[in-house]
A and B are shown apart, each in its own frame.
Chain A
Amino acid sequence: MTGIIVLIVVGALFVPQYGLFWRIRRRRWLQSRQAVEDALAHLHQFQHDGRPASVETLSNTLGTSTKHTLDLVNRMAQLDLVAVTGQGMRLTAAGHRWALQIVRAHRLFERYLADETSVPREEIHARAHRLEHTVTEAQVDKMDADMGHPAFDPQGDPIPNAAGDMKEIESQKLVDWPAGVPALIVHIEDEPPEVYAQIIAEDLHPGMVITIVDMSPVRVVIGTPDAEHVLAPVVAANVSVREAPTEGVEPAGVPLTTLEHGEAGRVVGLAPACQGLTRRRFQDLGLTPGARVERVMQSAFSDPTAYRVRNTMIALRREQSDLIRIERAPRKEQEIDT
């Protein structure tokens, strides 16, 4: 008997969706800053893309019931953040300003996580999403200034400045790009995560120059200087490109790994695929154009290899040294240097 009572009580509390525990949690969430901010971000995104936002799209994105979403929209209307018109919902001036602040915080956090931490690429969006609700406007301003007012986030989305202005750039979807013409990746859409994960798996970054090798209704084959990548068209549609500049993007030269034992060379540049903390670390170590590198030691298992860079010995794994482009020093110069 007591067992049944306990079961009923536990059920009333914890049945998914309808249990009291979940109801209270959802109510508290809906009253929170995060709910309002997520709704603002959604409305801003749709307005920016020129799509009409409705209670349905909103409840879809937030994962709440229509009734709760209506409550939320009413509350936001009372706060003068949203105006409900015949065409649907629109952000008011105050709502728009707030929404831009969230977008700004989110993209700055993404930039920060990509540049200064070794958080994996696929986790950056979710982490920034959690962090964006925890900061004040003054903190966001400070972060922006400390990071040197970056104009783009790691996916190539523009970061609004304090006044809300963004640097928009012209781009085309990769699937609309003609085959054989070099293209510069300017933007990679990070949602939905499943699609983004496939792009990460191919190690594509904004700033890389690619060429479409082959395109069919089932697959898009793209070429980079080092490899070929195959994407499904629906995945390729999340990559935006524009015409590649004629020079200066892809450093010339050969990968550092091609250096033979005892040989020396000079750094030409770092591959565009070398981003974030790795790039920062390489620069800290002095692997800048013109720096002399000499291969000095190889470990017992052939990997890693130690190089002498600016009179310091540094061991690198093969994957890393592939990202460094060098130019072999002519024999004569080597003799002079050593």
Chain B
Amino acid sequence: MSETSTKPTVGEDILGRVEEMQRGLDGSYRDEIVEAIYQDAEAISRKVVRTEESTSYPWDQKLDRIVTSKIWGLPFMALLLGVVFWVTISGANVPSSMLAEGLFWLGARGVEFFDWLGMPWWVTGFIWHGVYRGLAWVIAVMLPPMAIFFPIFTILEDLGYLPRVAFNVDALFKKAGAHGKQALTMSMGLGCNAAGVVACRVIDSPRERLIAILTNNFMPCNGRWPTLIILATLFVAAAFPPAFAAMAAAGSLVLIVLIGAATTLLVSAVLSRSFLRGEASSFTLELPPYRRPSILRVLYTSLIDRTIFVLWRAVVMAVPAGGVIWLLSNIHAGGQSLTVWVSQWLEPVGRAIGLDGVILLAYIIAIPANEIVVPTIIMAYTGAGMMIELDTMAELQHLLVNQQGWTLLTAVCLMLFSLLHNPCSTTMWTVYRETRSVKWTVVSGLMPLAIAFLLLFIVAQTAYWIMGLAGM
């Protein structure tokens, strides 16, 4: 400023006068500028843009009338969700088992190779039975459903359907003091919670964004589907004829997602009336016209941006987890492995909430990657010391129900626990990166865990009490 006062140049002089004039204006001059810009734009577009008489409205409007209808809007949404799950589950079945077979075959060759080299057994075990099998399992279980789910999701996004979902359910979020766009971040969370947390950037208001981030975990992600699907198949679909098994499994998944959505709304409402109190901020949601999805873009976004990205992070997390499982099962103290020690120690806690020690241990090991929960449980039960594959569902059922005494209560509690428990470490790391706050990261981990324990305790104790009354 001192230079200006000594000898202003022409440019500085003009800028100075501009500043003076700007300060002389009253607050509404911004409005006037915006209005003037729009008037100019309108005048230009009227001159150069010609609109065909028959625009694409009628078709759009007809579709909108169905998908946002007061009667059909919500059922259509649930149905679509069910179809997406059904396509994903039934489509992923075959590739998953083929991948597992191929990768486990490769693992067996690896073991042979190491034996031929004359490696000590613990090197072979740690590398091939620990780390490699963890890796193989994660890829086999995760890749096919993601490679199906994410493209479908991206097509719905590209079509313009997702903003309609937000439009349909916004009133519920408004009641919960949250933002309607949270519905978008939730749908994203069905693919991967870390991706869902990143998607929360679309919410402008910091308070509502934080609510969306903290509750995203209540949408079961891809990594948790396998657990839910196996349980749904063993305990729900088993009651249906084989032809309808996939549909029944999809149906129970929809139910689980609905329970997750209800929990999300409930927790959001509690948060916005306690720790994150505040007014609902402004909500404007654009409902773009329906577009034909561009196939190349869909493939790129869903496969490169989402599938590979998520898979890579899961792989990075699963490698150490596979190692830990192997170490726990192969280090013996006092005649039994660490796995047995830890699960015995966790047994009373597990029983109190309808589960058992082994399941809790599996969840602790699976903090880096939820998809290894089931293989870890099987491993601990069979005492195999490594992840194994059970060939058929019948074998699995035999192991869980006949040998380990799982009941319908165990299945229900495990499904609820899988839905509500803490997010995986990747998601928590993402929460930290998005919020830059250790406090909220810790909350995002402990809050769901506390809710899960509380709810399961109530469910299990009530069930025990009823069973006691019935004399079972």
Asked if A and B are interacting partners, one says yes
Contact of B171 with A277 in the complex, beta carbons under 8 Å: no
Which stretch from A21-29, A65-73, A78-86, A144-152 is at the chain B interface? A144-152
Residues 98-133 of A, flagged 1 when their CB comes within 8 A of B and 0 if not, give 000000000000000000001110000000000000
Interface presence of A291 (CB below 8 A): yes
* A281 x B171 contact (CB < 8 A): no
Could you tell me the dominant secondary structure of chain B's interface residues? Answer: helix
The CA-CA distance from A145 to B22 in the complex, in Å, is 10
Would B68 and A299 count as touching, CB distance under 8 A?
yes
> In the complex, what distance in Å separates the CA atom of A317 from the CA atom of B170?
9
Q: Is the pair B278, A151 in contact by a Cβ cutoff of 8 Å?
A: no
Known: A152-B27, A161-B19. A302 touches B171 (CB 8 A): yes
State which size class the interface on B falls in. 35 or more
User: Hey, which chain B residues are within 8 Å of A314, CB to CB?
Assistant: 284-287
Cβ of A277: which chain B residues have Cβ within 8 Å of it?
Answer: 204, 282
Least distance between B31 CB and chain A CB atoms (Å): 7
* A297 engages B281 (CB within 8 Å): no
Contact status B23-A120, CB under 8 Å: no
Q: Are A304 and B206 in contact (CB under 8 A)?
A: no
Binds A, one of B69-77, B99-107, B218-226, B460-468: B69-77
Contacts of B31 in A (CB 8 A): 270, 283, 288
With both beta carbons as reference points, the residue of chain B lying nearest to A161 in the complex is identified as B23
CB-CB nearest in chain A for B41 = A286
Chain A residues with CB below 8 A from B48, complex form:
none
Q: Cβ of B283 and Cβ of A304 under 8 Å apart?
A: yes
CA distance A315 to B179 in the complex (A): 13
Cα(A314)–Cα(B172), bound, Å? 19
- Interface pair A297/B64, CB less than 8 Å apart: yes
Nearest-Cβ distance from residue A9 to partner chain B, whole angstroms: 27
**Any B CB within 8 A of the CB of A289:** yes
Looking at the assembled complex, report how far the CB atom of B317 sits from the nearest CB atom of chain A, in whole angstroms. 34
Contacting A at CB under 8 A, from B10-24, are: 19, 22-24
Whether B351 is near chain A, meaning CB under 8 Å from some CB there, is no
Q: Within the assembled complex, what's the spacing in Å between the Cα atoms of A281 and B205?
A: 13
A86 to B171, CA, bound (A): 65
Known contacts A300-B74, A304-B285, A317-B170; decide if A288 and B64 are in contact (CB<8 Å): no
Interface residue? A196 (CB, 8 A): no
Q: Is the interface of A mostly helix, strand, loop or mixed?
A: loop
A201 nearest in chain B by CB position: B279
Q: Please indicate the chain A residues that have their CB under 8 angstroms from the CB of B27 in the complex.
A: 152, 207
Given contacts A149-B23, A152-B27, A320-B282, contact A304 B180 (CB under 8 A): yes
Residue B38 interfacial (CB < 8 Å): yes
Q: Which residues 301-357 of B have a CB within 8 angstroms of A?
A: none
Question: Cβ of A288 and Cβ of B174 under 8 Å apart?
Answer: no
Which chain B residues border A299 with CB–CB below 8 Å? Answer: 68, 70, 73, 167-168, 170-171
- The digit string for B420-456, where 1 denotes a CB below 8 A from any CB of A, is 0000000000000000000000000000000000000
With contacts A151-B23, A302-B171 taken as known, whether A119 is within 8 angstroms of B35 at the C-beta atoms is: no
Are the C-beta atoms of B285 and A163 separated by less than 8 Å?
no
Q: From residue A156, how far is it (CB to closest CB) to chain B in Å?
A: 9
Contacts of A306 in B (CB 8 A): 68, 167, 287
Cα–Cα distance between A298 and B73 once the two chains are bound (Å): 11
Given contacts A299-B171, A301-B172, contact A278 B282 (CB under 8 A): yes
B171 adjacent to A162 (CB under 8 Å):
no
Give the total of A residues in contact with B, Cβ under 8 Å. 45
Q: How far is the CB of A247 from chain B (nearest CB, A)?
A: 13
A277-B203 Cα distance, complex, nearest whole Å: 13
Residues of A within 8 A of B23 (CB): 149-151, 161, 167
- Interface status of A282 (Cβ within 8 A of chain B): yes
Q: Please tell me if A285 contacts chain B, counting CB pairs below 8 Å.
A: yes
Q: Is B34 on the interface with A (CB-CB < 8 A)?
A: yes
A313 CB within 8 Å of chain B: yes
Q: Are B281 and A118 in contact (CB-based, < 8 A)?
A: yes
**B97 CB to closest chain A CB, in angstroms?**
41
Residue among A277, A291, A306, A315 having the largest count of chain B Cβ atoms under 10 Å: A315
Please, how many angstroms separate the alpha-carbon atoms of A162 and B26 in the complex?
19
Given A118-B205, A306-B167, are A300 and B69 neighbors across the interface (CB < 8 Å)? yes
Asked whether, in the complex, the Cβ of B281 is within 8 Å of the Cβ of A315, the reply is no
A309: min CB distance to chain B, Å: 10
Across the interface, do A320 and B284 meet the contact criterion of CB distance under 8 Å?
Answer: yes
Q: B residues within 8 A CB of A315?
A: 163, 166-167, 170, 180, 283-287
Query: Which of chain B's residues has its CB closest to A270's CB?
Result: B31
Is A92 an interface position by the 8 A CB rule? no
- Known A161-B19, A163-B1, A299-B171; judge A313-B206 contact (CB<8 A): no
* A320 closest partner in B (C-beta): B282
In the assembled complex, how far is the CB of residue A268 from the closest CB belonging to chain B, in whole angstroms?
12
A144 to chain B, nearest CB (A): 8
Report B-chain residues with C-beta under 8 Å of the C-beta of A298. Answer: 70
A20 within 8 A of B: no
* A141 within 8 Å of B (CB atoms): yes
Q: Mark B158-202, 1 if CB is under 8 A from A, else 0.
A: 000001001111111010000010000000000000000000000
How far does the alpha carbon of A290 sit from the alpha carbon of B39 in the complex, in Å? 9
B284 CB to closest chain A CB, in angstroms?
6
* Bound complex: CA A242 to CA B212 (Å): 43
Give the distance in Å from the alpha carbon of A240 to the alpha carbon of B177 in the complex: 33
A161 to B282 CA separation, bound complex (whole angstroms): 32
Known contacts A281-B282, A304-B285; decide if A162 and B167 are in contact (CB<8 Å). Answer: no
Q: B174: which A residues are within 8 A, CB to CB?
A: 303, 317
Given known contacts A297-B64, A300-B68, A118 and B282 CB-to-CB distance under 8 angstroms: yes
* Inter-chain contact B285/A118, CB cutoff 8 Å: no
Residue of A nearest to B170 (CB): A304
Whether A320 and B22, one on each chain, are in contact in the complex, defined by CB atoms closer than 8 angstroms, is no
A312 within 8 A of B: yes
A316 within 8 A of B: yes
Q: Is the CB of B73 within 8 A of A300?
A: yes
| Interface-centre pick from A148, A278, A281 (highest chain B CB count, 10 A) | A148
When distances are taken between beta carbons in the complex, the residues of chain B under 8 Å from A281 are 282, 284
Shortest Cβ gap from A194 to chain B (Å): 16
19 additional contacts (CB under 8 A) given A119-B206, A150-B23, A314-B285:
A120-B207, A120-B278, A141-B1, A149-B23, A151-B24, A162-B1, A278-B282, A296-B61, A299-B68, A299-B168, A300-B169, A300-B171, A303-B171, A304-B285, A312-B286, A312-B288, A313-B286, A316-B285, A319-B282
Q: What are the 6 A-B residue pairs with the smallest beta carbon separation, nearest first? A: A301-B171, A313-B287, A278-B282, A315-B285, A149-B22, A283-B34
5 A–B contacts, CB within 8 A, in A order: A148-B22, A291-B38, A312-B286, A312-B288, A315-B287
